[in-house]
Amino acid sequence: MSYPEAIEVGGIEYDINSDYSYALACFRCINDPEISDLERSMGVIGILYKDCPEDEAEALRLAIKFLQRGKDAKERPDKTPDMDFEQDDHYIRSSFMSDYKIDLDEAQMHWWKFYDLVQGLTDNCILNRVRDLRNYDLSTVSDPKTKAKIIQAQREVALEEQLAPEEQQQIDDFYAQLK
């Protein structure tokens, strides 16, 4: 499969930084509660594009589409996330090593391929075992001792609460502007 290495904005093709590390940097920028929407926009454009397109609004819309692997911007799902690229970095790295024998410290990989490989990790890898634990349905456990152990394990691998509701609203408003 051929992955995009450029984005056409206003009839001009612009080379992009397509490596997964740049995509993850874009997400860190998008989710940074310390910066304004304008700073987020300029940050994503500055990280992703090798040269800045003139039509920044269109460049941003297409950058978000690239980050969503070719899909148009949409509302975030109501489902509670069970994975975070930044918080689960060590699980992702060890899972890539165990499943694919890929050392992410040495690998250069297109963002879309990286995402596909994350989705294709085996059930036995540490990342997916942690995700399963985060999603474990406690209503299926009747033994109080077992339930307490599972609750404790869930607490140990729980994702940190990242944003206050008003901060999340700012992020949601940012995505809504892209529609």
The pLDDT tens digits of the residues spanning 126-164 come to: 999 999 999 999 999 999 999 999 999 999 999 987 555
Using one digit for the tens of pLDDT, what is the confidence trace for 71-123? Answer: 876 655 557 889 999 999 999 999 999 999 999 999 999 999 999 999 999 99
H or E element in which residue 13 lies: strand 12-15
Q: What is the DSSP letter of 107?
A: -
pTM value? 0.83
Contacts 24+ apart (CB under 8 A), 26-30: 26/63, 26/67, 27/67, 27/85, 27/86, 28/86, 30/171, 30/174
Strand 12-15 and strand 6-9: the pairing is: antiparallel
Q: Interior CA angle at 43 toward 37 and 48, to 5°?
A: 130
